[in-house]
Amino acid sequence: MPEIKPGSRFASSVCTTEIIIVKGFGDCDLCCGGAGMEAPGAPRDERTPSPQAAEGTQMGKRYVDAAETIEVLCVKPGDGSLGIGNVLLKLKDAKPLPASD
Amino acid sequence: MNIMMLLEMAANGFGERVAVGSHTGGLTFQQLYDRAGAAAGRFRADGVTAVAMVDVSSVALPISLFGAAWANLPFVPLNYRLSNDELSRQGERIAPAVAIADPSAVGRLIGLGGVEVLNRSDLLDSIVDAPVPEAGWEILGEGTAVLLFTSGTTGEPKAAVLRHRHLVSYILGSVEFMSAGEDEAALVSVPPYHVAGIAAILSNVYAGRRIVQLPTFDAAVWIDLVRTEEVTSAMVVPTMLAQIVERLDAEGPSGMGLPSLRTLSYGGGKMPRPTIERALQLLEHTAFVNAYGLTETSSTVALLGPVDHRDALASDELSVRARLGSAGRPLPNIEVSIRDENGSEVAIGSPGEVWVRGDQVSGEYEGLPSQLTAAGWFPTRDGGWMDDAGFLHVTGRIDDVIVKGGQNVSPGEIEDVLVRHPEVADAAAIGLPDTHWGERIVAAVVRAYESQVTAEELQEAVRTELRSNRTPDHVEFVEALPYGDTGKLLRRVLRADLAHLGDGSTL
């Protein structure tokens, strides 16, 4: 099980998704498309996302677990859905703020 | 989390969009990424520990900011208006460094020990089509991204440390990736050494908004750029807005206005009420945003949004109208608490010191222990209070509070009354030594054009609106008030200029 901390980066082993951890520490069964995520650059296998985790990820969106103790940022989109084990992460609601800079 | 991650995402997500410059001929996000990489290669080869910049805004600014991050070096924009002495002292503090300079500053830096001077145009020429190194930036974000010298009230300026994780937290918490439309453009007229100048680059890169730069502020050029570049958002400091309003007023009702400008944000100092009210009237289709923040908090921590502005302007209720002068509500990832001298939270509506907490808050200066409390709060040294709807009202620097006869008097409330007077163009209140009262209140006033208003009339105006202990003991008429180039009133300078009006025996 990989160890996560803010800034660390993971890639899906079954699709093109890549994420960066924004919040969360420790061992975590981080999955994408139903399969464990790996360090970026690791060889991808031939599998495709499992049908239970195939809604896809969107570039620049943040995903959180129910308790919001873990938050990840999608830096490359793909076909799989993110999850901790079998539990899917949900898209974080973002309240739009007016441009201030 | 490194600020390079923001640019990498922009290059991957919308690499062909123009990032900086004109519609035609500007640099795309992919080009900005490539040039930052090439610049990083150059910075690293120089064997330095920091990348400084003594220059106005140009395309070299985002390239160097990201290039330094790519090379794992802090970026240190210095104030090009500093005297040679001040500049050398700050240069010594960051040496060995490479300093990017515009041609006029190059001469001032030559001979500075440990500082290698790099002419802006030489840098820009050398990175066109130069090799882009492998991405090698530190990903956790502990490193220093930006070092900003703040104007200290006494002694040498302190250098605020903004780590990558602070700046990235600010961006992730306040900007949605690619939230800008392809037609959007932001006009940046604050200098590189102001935290808002850095924040503007990061926010607009992440939002995918084209950046148009104005190197030296001039209201006529600013208005012209908004029109020709079809600028949709801009950030200004109060003195800039005052000049823009004056200029638009002079164009009269037949003027073109600024139809492309959807959002105008302001901050960096207290906005005089007459200026913002007039701006709201002149630019009725523009959404106004007041952003409150400090260098040490990675820019904005509270916002007064467009609807709040219009609601306040339209309201008959004094407490709602007063929100026009407020800093609005804290950002979603920021907590604000008002504390007394002992650090205890005060009741809603009571004045105290503004404390802030959040992942973007650094509260750290180079060479000094962290200024954060054990619970992570940063005491800002700004005075303020919170109203019952959660709006933060900032009254000014605590160190500027006048203590007269044991009573605390905030200069801001006196200044508010004075600048609303039709015969006053500008005003500032300061405390000067007084044997009997400890401090006496002195108001420095710039009369409106051709006005002959007297000191007694102005004292009476303050007395009618505020408690009598707020009345200035003396009103001094001056030609102009001293402002820094980013619009901050220089109270120290004013106090020194008017020192003769204090009670000499206590000086």
**What is the CATH classification number for the domain harbouring B445?**
3.30.300.30
Rounded Cα distance between B445 and B426, Å, is: 6
For chain B, what is the domain count? 2
Residue ending a domain, among B129, B163, B197, is B163
Element (H, E) at B477: strand B474-477
pLDDT(B506) > 50: no
Give me the DSSP letters along chain A. --EE-TT-EEE-SSSS-EEEEEE--EE--EEETTEE-B-TTSPP-S----GGG-S-B-TT-EEE-TTSS-EEEEEE-BSS-EEETTEEPEEPP--------
Nearest to B1 among A20, A59, A94 (CB): A20
**Inter-chain touch B165–A6, beta carbons under 8 Å:** yes
pLDDT(B507) > 70: no
What pLDDT band is residue B505 in, cutting at 50, 70 and 90? very low
Which residues in chain B have Cβ-Cβ distances shorter than 8 Å to A7?
Answer: 1-2, 139-141, 165
What range defines the domain where residue B465 resides?
401-506
CA B26 to chain centre: 26
Pick the residue of A68, A74, A100 with the most B CBs within 10 A to test the interface with B by mutation: A100
Mean pLDDT over the full length of chain B = 93
Provide the residue type at B278 as one letter: R
Q: Is residue B226 part of a domain?
A: no
Q: Is residue B208 part of a domain?
A: no
User: What radius of gyration, in Å, describes the C-alpha atoms of chain A?
Assistant: 13
Residue ending a domain, among B112, B147, B163, is B163
pLDDT(A92) > 60: yes
Q: Is residue B433 part of a domain?
A: yes
pLDDT in tens, B22-56: 988 899 999 999 999 999 999 987 789 999 999 99
φ/ψ bin of B406: left (φ > 0), alpha (ψ from -120 to 50), beta (otherwise): left
pLDDT in tens, B458-504: 999 999 999 888 999 999 999 999 988 777 888 989 999 999 998 85
Whole-number percent of chain B with pLDDT over 70: 98
pLDDT in tens, B221-232: 999 999 999 999
Nearest to A59 among B13, B172, B267 (CB): B13
Per-residue pLDDT at B155 = 65
pLDDT(B436) > 70: yes
pLDDT(B57) > 90: yes
Asked if A49 and A80 count as a contact pair (C-beta separation under 8 A), the reply is: yes
State the Cα angle at B290 between B285 and B295, rounded to 5°: 145
**Inter-chain touch B140–A76, beta carbons under 8 Å:** no
pLDDT(B94) > 50: yes
pLDDT in tens, B388-416: 999 999 988 898 899 998 888 989 889 98
Domain borders along chain A are 3-91
Rounded Cα distance between B193 and B248, Å, is: 28
pLDDT in tens, A65-77: 999 999 999 999 9
Element (H, E) at B395: strand B392-397
- Asked if B328 has any chain A CB less than 8 Å from its own CB, the reply is no
What pLDDT band is residue B274 in, cutting at 50, 70 and 90? confident
Q: Is residue B316 part of a domain?
A: no
**Inter-chain touch A99–B203, beta carbons under 8 Å:** yes
Residue ending a domain, among B141, B163, B185, is B163
For B499, phi then psi, to 5°, come to: -55, -30
Nearest CA in chain B to A74: B9
Provide the residue type at B477 as one letter: F
Rounded Cα distance between B442 and B157, Å, is: 27
- Which stretches of chain A sit within 8 Å of chain B by CB? 5-9, 20, 22, 59-62, 73, 75-76, 94-101
Rounded Cα distance between B132 and B118, Å, is: 19
pLDDT(B429) > 60: yes
Q: Is residue B104 part of a domain?
A: yes
Q: Is residue B430 part of a domain?
A: yes
